[in-house]
Amino acid sequence: MHRQVDIQKLLRAMTIEEKAGQLLQLATFFYLSETEGEITGPLSDLGIAEDEVWRSGSVLGINNAEEMIAIQKKYLENSKHKIPLLFMADIVHGYRTIFPIPLAIGCSWNLEGAKKSAQVAAKEAALSGVHVTFSPMVDLVRDPRWGRVMEATGEDPYLNSAFAKAFVEGYQGDMTGEYDIAACVKHFAGYGAAEAGREYNTVDMSDRTLREYYLPAYKAALDAGCRMVMTSFNTVHGVPATGNKYLMREILRDEWGFDGVVISDWGAVGELLQHGVAKDSKDVAQKAIEASVDIEMMTSHYVQSLKKLVEDGTVSETLIDESVLRILKLKQELGLFENPYKVANLQKAQEAFLCEEHREAAREIATKSMVLLKNEGILPLDKNKKIAIVGPLADSGDILGAWAWQGKPEEAITLKQGIECKVGAQNISVAMGCTIDGIETEGFKEAIKIAQEADVVILALGEKSSMCGEAASRAFIKLPGIQEEFAKTILALEKPTVTVLLNGRPLEITELSTLTPALLEAWFPGTEGGNAIADILFGDSIPSGRLSMSFPYTVGQIPVYYNCYNTGRPQPNEDAEGYFSRYLDIPNAPLYPFGYGLSYTEFNYDNFTLSQEVLHEGETIKASVCIKNVGNRVGTETVQFYIKDEVGSTVRPLKELKGFRQVTLQPQEEKTVTFEITEEMLKYHNIKSDYVAEKGSFIAMVGKNAVEVLSLNFELA
Ligand code: GLC
């Protein structure tokens, strides 16, 4: 237990200016500048004087332990009350050892691996002076045009909730460990539903959709003890989240009982002006503090206007005190009053960065995140064959993805390096053929030549890391540049070829998927990417990834997701014409559905049974299925369990994921997997917005993805 400071007494000793200062968060450079001139510009942009910097409460974007120690020391020397700064940063999928992007981890369905990734990130971050990470991002995503789908775990509330819990537990531990850092769940709420996938665009949905699909994962993070919430840039029910009392006070604080720190996203408090819901700085500050936003990130309306609002009686100082106390409580819990430097130590951090244990953890979850989408007898590869690796990502370190700002591409294992590590360099030839987004074709010739001379071709295609992440929406989601033409040229050689995709979103790859005999979605796999890809390609690791986000047939089909409604005129089959909910020019089905992925073996599902067909109050139905590995290689199957409510007071999704289990089976081995159906599992926000289960008929389904399922009926009586 850390030395306790009487934070109530501390609060009573603070002036209103000092209280408002605790609510201000500035980027690191404000504290580091050597000369006045260097920060005058940004300070004047923010409308604050230098002394506000030394009254602020927290810092974002700290780069290393030495920087943190220097700032904290300088700050405390100037601080009247000796209240330490809180240091925060975006550690989203690793600190220096970069893990696969969260969308990839979402496709692993491996909660232990996700938790381990957060634990490793927390250790490297804590040693580097970070106290809070702006992670996990749990925004539900259905639109691959949005650049930040890479940061989410997918389109399903149940799976996203499971990962939210795993990440929070990984970062925070029990909050007493030397490397435990506070997590900050984001972006509350509904940021992933930006219209047309355009960054920062309007979000507008019914309260039911918000509560049924988008809110559960934030709640799961908070139920796991997440210490902080970050507001989102978007509107919710017509009001920007950052000034939204319904969302922040009624739901987050009153309904859910969250009494932790709420921080705005970068500039989001000030953006109430751009949204047009506030007329001036005082109005901005009033709306945000009344919505219980505690920390204002990188705008300064609190320090500019809260004192005036209190003096003119518009805002009670009690509101400000509550925010300051929440921040002081977090600083107390993190032990900052006892030791403002915690475990920050540059040398120990450098010893931890990229150490064998951390690289191994990154490699393991990367192999589990990759999704085998197609394999017509090509994989696994023979280690003695002549291999041509062609394509712009054949030997690229740009495989870390976005939000990997401490990671270094030069430290990443490229696809070529991974394969050379695995099989030696003697049988490998490499040619880029083209760039990621260029249109030059002169490189084709060399690539064609080495492909013709090889036994096997690996076609390495994808995106730049900068094509995903924040402010990186793409209206067209095909492979950028001339890559498709390049791929067709190589595939026309009719060599045994496997296409490996390194990208940050589901891409429109419909034509490519028909042409390539094998297709591996490797995502942005992180620092150990090349080794993980080689592990999968040569069968030293078995592909077990299952899509956590649908791949659209074309961008015109978006949004396409599995847990949709039936409509009044469902198309009975893909060929049915006439007055059905359908397109004239494409199928309704996505190219690859939620939950889809192949292995190097086959699994049979058989003997699906329910322990009873009627569920009475307080009872549980056991749903069991026998899984058998009927191939000749070991394999890991993710058994997925879905439920459909056949009749509701509102329409109900075609199916909803309610459980999953990963089983690893040797050839011919079989195992019975059991799920428990409870009344709690059947609850939803009904027509009266009550969260209840409604009596009636349900369908239980079990299967290898959201399409291939076995079904049985049961009733809730
Ligand atoms: C960004 C992002 C948010 C991040 C914050 C601090 O704008 O929206 O996810 O945590 O600013 O970098």
What tens digit of pLDDT does each residue of 165-183 get? 999 999 999 999 999 999 9
Got the DSSP string for 108-169?
TT-HHHHHHHHHHHHHHHHHTT-SEE---B------TTSGGGGGS--S-HHHHHHHHHHHHH
Q: What mean pLDDT do residues 580-592 have? A: 98
The pLDDT of residue 238 is: 98
Quick count: other Cβ atoms within 10 Å of Cβ 502?
29
- Taking CA atoms, 394 is separated from 245, 509, 534, in Å, by 50, 19, 12
pLDDT tens for 207-248 read: 999 999 999 999 999 999 999 999 999 999 999 999 999 999
The pLDDT of residue 67 is: 96
Beta carbon of 139 within 6 Å of any ligand 1 atom: no
Max distance between CA atoms of the chain, in angstroms, equals 81
> Rounded distance, CA 515 to CA 509, Å?
10
Beta carbon of 265 within 6 Å of any ligand 1 atom: yes
* 262's tokens: 């709420």
Cβ 182 vs Cβ 176: under 8 Å: no
Beta strands in 198-252 (DSSP E): 228-231, 235-236, 239-240
Q: What mean pLDDT do residues 119-146 have? A: 98
The pLDDT of residue 48 is: 85
Coil/strand/helix, residue 635: strand
- Residue 272 per-residue DSSP state: H
Q: What mean pLDDT do residues 510-530 have? A: 98
The pLDDT of residue 250 is: 98
Helix (H) or strand (E) holding 72: helix 65-78
Helix (H) or strand (E) holding 289: helix 281-290
C-alpha 464 – ligand 1 centre gap (Å): 20
32-46, 174-188, 542-556: the lowest-pLDDT one: 32-46
* 516's tokens: 């390539």
The pLDDT of residue 39 is: 56
Which is nearest to 544 in space by CA: 364, 359, 363, 367?
Answer: 367
> Rounded distance, CA 192 to CA 220, Å?
17
The pLDDT of residue 40 is: 58
Which entry of 139, 156, 265, 283 is annotated as an active-site residue?
A: 265
The pLDDT of residue 4 is: 79
Beta carbon of 148 within 6 Å of any ligand 1 atom: no
Burial code of 192-228, b = ≥16 C-beta within 10 A, e = fewer?
A: bbbeebebbbebeeeeeebbbbbbbbbbbbbebbbbb
Give the pairing of strands 235-236 and 239-240.
antiparallel
The residue nearest atom 12 of ligand 1, judged by CA position, is 90
pLDDT tens for 587-627 read: 999 999 999 999 999 999 999 999 999 999 999 999 999 99
> Rounded distance, CA 163 to CA 143, Å?
20
Beta carbon of 60 within 6 Å of any ligand 1 atom: yes
Ligand 1: which of 25, 90, 146 to mutate, most ligand atoms within 8 Å of CB?
90
Q: What mean pLDDT do residues 441-454 have? A: 98
- Edge to edge, the sheet with strand 635-645 lists 614-615, 709-716, 696-703, 635-645, 656-665
> Rounded distance, CA 413 to CA 528, Å?
5
- Taking CA atoms, 574 is separated from 371, 559, 561, 571, 592, in Å, by 25, 18, 17, 7, 15
Cβ 644 vs Cβ 653: under 8 Å: yes
Beta carbon of 295 within 6 Å of any ligand 1 atom: no
The percentage of the chain sitting over the pLDDT mark of 90, rounded to a whole number, equals 96
Cβ 430 vs Cβ 390: under 8 Å: yes
pLDDT tens for 669-685 read: 999 999 999 999 999 99
Q: What mean pLDDT do residues 244-257 have? A: 98
Beta carbon of 186 within 6 Å of any ligand 1 atom: yes
- Residue 243 per-residue DSSP state: G
- Active site includes 294? no
> Rounded distance, CA 648 to CA 654, Å?
12
Confidence grade of residue 43 (pLDDT, cut at 50, 70, 90): confident
pLDDT at 41 over 70: no
Which is nearest to 295 in space by CA: 319, 331, 327?
Answer: 327
Length of the chain equals: 717
> Rounded distance, CA 80 to CA 63, Å?
26
- Taking CA atoms, 558 is separated from 141, 197, 234, in Å, by 11, 9, 20
Question: Which amino acid, residue 587?
Answer: P
Ligand 1 atom closest to the Cα of residue 134 is 10
> Rounded distance, CA 409 to CA 256, Å?
41
* 378's tokens: 């090509």
Q: What are phi and psi of 236, to 5 degrees?
A: -130, 120
Question: Which amino acid, residue 618?
Answer: G
Coil/strand/helix, residue 714: strand
> Rounded distance, CA 458 to CA 423, Å?
14
Q: Identify the burial level of 680 via C-beta atoms within 10 angstroms of its C-beta, where 0-12 means exposed, 13-18 middle and 19 or more buried.
A: exposed
Confidence grade of residue 189 (pLDDT, cut at 50, 70, 90): very high
Coil/strand/helix, residue 106: helix
The residue nearest atom 6 of ligand 1, judged by CA position, is 266
> Rounded distance, CA 548 to CA 562, Å?
10
Q: What mean pLDDT do residues 107-134 have? A: 98
Which is nearest to 51 in space by CA: 19, 25, 18?
Answer: 18
Q: What are phi and psi of 370, to 5 degrees?
A: -80, 145
Beta carbon of 677 within 6 Å of any ligand 1 atom: no
Ligand 1: which of 171, 191, 266 to mutate, most ligand atoms within 8 Å of CB?
266
Confidence grade of residue 2 (pLDDT, cut at 50, 70, 90): low
